[in-house]
Structure 1
Amino acid sequence: MRYFLIIGIILFTLPRMSAQQLQSYILEAETNNPEIQAFELRYNIAEEKINEVNTLPDTEFGAGYFVSEPETRTGAQRARFSVKQMLPWFGTITARENYASSMAEAEYVEMVIAKRKLALSVSQAYYRLYGIKAKQKVLENNIQLLETYERLALTSLEVGNASAVDVLRLQIRQNELQQQKEILREDFIAQKVEFNNLLNKEKAAPITVVDSMVLPIQELSVSSQDLTLHPELLKYEKLYESITQSEALNQKESLPNLGFGLDYIPVEKRPDMNFGDNGKDILMPMVSVSIPIFNNKYNSRTRQNELRQQEINMQKEERLNKLETLLSQAVQSRNSARISYDIQLKNLEQAEDAEDILIRNYETGTINFNDVLDIQELQLKFQISQIESIKMYYVQSAIINYLIN
């Protein structure tokens, strides 16, 4: 009972420990990754656009000096000063704010997508690191096992139950495994650089990877309906909404603009006359209207917006088809990984039984070292395949999590 309790605790805690460790790396990547920082800046810029559009057109100031002074009844006009302010039609500024806000929302969804893709990349890189580390451990165990067999072969050689060829074959097999181990060490270094680059850390920064992983007892059901709220699809909805707001703005801009102004003209007194308005300055309020009589450009924008919305609907449908295909492939690959894992588990049990038989035969002096090498090679093959199945299972699970969570 105690043995099964310990095994149960290990099977329960290992996935949780791995998930917590991976989640901390993902959070670190989101904080440090320059691509995510660039997306955050783009979103901040889009938000700042809302303040940019919440303004009136520039106020116009003018000043002029009469080189040839016009003479009026009240005196000569010396100069003219004017100020003018154009005002968009009622609701135009609000329409601009709504459009800028919709573009900011689209940028926010882009940032969410980038974070999810980064989490996927970090997860897959982490599982590849696990796969390499687990294979190194398996190779080390097999090298130690072959060293044990080599000592048995040397002992058998002394009593004439083995040949020098058996010893040499065991040594050659150790050399081959050592070579594979060294290659994996180089693979781990390269994968470590990729992983640290995702986290924007020093290439040689240490990485903690779990020693072992197991498959969960069962998976949650996956349906293509879960894709409906995926950010990559939500992005098209936000773009569609932004075009709707763009058209609302276009309709507002096609309406007249109002202008209010004031002209001031200083008048010089006439020295030869004396009356009440002599030298009285001129103050002239002004109202103007800007009417878009030739509004073909606004009609063209409306047509363009309609076409863009149709384009976005097509793009969304096409992307949904690709996501459904990707989800189906990921689920199939994950199921295949579980099947492979279960088969390799059975194969390992049978290979270990065969190994036990060979060891018992050694006690009777009838061990065949050719069979030992064959069984050891099979065990290594099954162990490597099992690690590949675990890695593939979690790599595909990361893709599924990206798509439906």
Structure 2
Amino acid sequence: MKNIKIIICLLFVSAEVYAERRRSTKAHLNALLIMSIGLISISGQAQQLQSYIEEAEANNPEIQAFELRYNIAEEKINEANWLPNTEVSAGYFVSEPETRVGAQRARISVKQMLPWFGTISARENYATSMAEAEYVEITIAKRKLALSVAQSYYGLYETRAKQKVLDENIQLLKTYERLALTSVEVGKASAVDVLRLQIRQNELQQQKEVLEEEFSAEQTTFNNLLNRDENSTVDLVVEMKIPENDPIYGTDALSLNPELLKYDKLYESVAQSELLNQRESLPMVGFGVDYLPVSERTDMNPIDNGKDVLMPMVSVSIPIFNNRYKSITRQNELRQQEIETQKEQRLNVLESAFAKAISQRNQARIKFNTQSKNLKQAKDAEQILIKNYETGTIDFNDVLDIQELQLKFQINQINAITKYYAQSAVVNYLITQ
């Protein structure tokens, strides 16, 4: 009769364990995966990853610094609209030269040099091209920041998911501990089995506490990316799953990466610099006027006696003996060649990073599928062990081994999921327009 009660108790506890597992498996929020960076929309109070990225872009000091650099570059467009200083000179004749209509007392000159036609427009175009290059730098910085925020977010999710799995396994070990205590009472197990189960619980609790320290450090990193209080709470999605199919990308999409577009903008800026150089190598034209006040003659009264002199002038500045502009042209040619080689090298780097990210994402999917199969088989083995308890042949060493395997497979699953999304974030950084 006592054995029957034990068996009934055991079956009840086992049923409770598996019912709890089924409930925990079904209890998750539906996640909508937007692109490969994993911008996850979730219901309830959890905030979208996209909103964190937008908050980081609005508050991050590095982005603000890049925007200020862009504002400076834009202001240089206004700076380009300038003319050489107007020259004003004045002189007084100590010894007044006599003329027919009187003595010249002083001389006042005003002259304005003007660049050749189109020079000012060339300056503005060059400043505009430099501003566009700075704007691309902002785009690159924002994409890198989004990648950092996403990867930190996935790191936080990974830690929390592992803690959840550890909690489940601790509760499972407590259930086994109760079974072992019951078995000790009827002579089916020894106190050593109970101690082993307790030791295993202690180990899992230690792992959980270590993960909490990791979470705290990663949370500080995440909040610093958003430039907010390091202790601010981060809302995490409850559960993430690998989608059935991956979007297909080709390396052609890399051509739209801002890291490559930056070289196109730099190349264009050098081209505009050369156009400006050609304009500046042309003559400058000056217009001016000289004014000479004249004193009236007292010894006679000729026509136009004491009439002041007003003399308009035109001048031309010709860079005849100046090799500066030829040297600048050669420098611009070399600079364009340098930019082309830099772009080619950067494309090779991005293609390698893209291939590596795709490969690692595929590896994560393979590992996840394998761990899912292993986890199912481990649960089947656990069920067999529980059923064997009815015959009195349960071995708690085998139970611990199976539990350790299950935990290993669950942790590997979480690692595979976070690796999948982390690599998807890299893919998104590389190819998204």
TM-score by length of 2: 0.89
- Return closer, same or farther for 1:9/1:266 CA change in 2, 3 Å cut-off: farther
- CA drift of 1:210 comes to 0.9
What is the SS of the residue equivalent to 2:311? strand
Q: How far apart in 1 are the matches of 2:32 and 2:199?
A: 36
| Corresponding position: 1:293 with 2:320 | yes
What is the SS of the residue equivalent to 2:149? helix
Partner of 2:332: 305
CA contact (8 A) 1:133 1:211 kept: no
What do residues 99-155 of structure 1 show as CA deviations (whole Å, max 9, x unaligned)? Answer: 111111111111111111111111111111111110011111111111111111111
Q: How far apart in 2 are the matches of 1:351 and 1:70?
A: 116
Worse-superposed segment, 385-394 or 270-279: 270-279
- Return closer, same or farther for 1:18/1:156 CA change in 2, 3 Å cut-off: farther
Tell me which of 17, 40, 46 is aligned to 1:19.
40
| Corresponding position: 1:219 with 2:212 | no
| Corresponding position: 1:263 with 2:287 | no
Question: Within 5 Å, which residues of 2 pair with 1:361-376?
Answer: 361-376=388-403
What is the SS of the residue equivalent to 1:43? helix
| Corresponding position: 1:327 with 2:327 | no
CA contact (8 A) 2:31 2:40 kept: no
CA RMSD of aligned residues (A): 1.7
Q: How far apart in 1 are the matches of 2:372 and 2:391?
A: 30
What do residues 186-226 of structure 1 show as CA deviations (whole Å, max 9, x unaligned)? Answer: 10011011111111111111110112100011011121111
Partner of 1:194: 221
Where does the alignment leave 5 or more consecutive residues of structure 2 unmatched?
Answer: 1-24, 42-47
- CA drift of 1:10 comes to 6.3
What is the SS of the residue equivalent to 1:62? strand
**Number of aligned residues:** 399
Q: How far apart in 2 are the matches of 1:14 and 1:350?
A: 29
Q: How far apart in 1 are the matches of 2:294 and 2:26?
A: 101
Tell me which of 329, 347, 360 is aligned to 2:387.
360
| Corresponding position: 1:389 with 2:416 | yes
Partner of 1:4: none
Q: How far apart in 1 are the matches of 2:133 and 2:149?
A: 24
- CA drift of 1:164 comes to 1.4
| Corresponding position: 1:84 with 2:111 | yes
Give the letter aligned to residue 19 of structure 1.
I
Where does the alignment leave 5 or more consecutive residues of structure 1 unmatched?
Answer: 1-6
CA contact (8 A) 2:28 2:239 kept: no
CA contact (8 A) 2:100 2:302 kept: no
What is the SS of the residue equivalent to 2:306? coil
TM-score by length of 1: 0.95
- CA drift of 1:269 comes to 2.4
What is the SS of the residue equivalent to 2:392? coil
- CA drift of 1:79 comes to 2.3
Worse-superposed segment, 10-19 or 388-397: 10-19
Tell me which of 88, 93, 113 is aligned to 2:120.
93
What do residues 228-276 of structure 1 show as CA deviations (whole Å, max 9, x unaligned)? Answer: 1111111111111111111111111111000001111222223333333
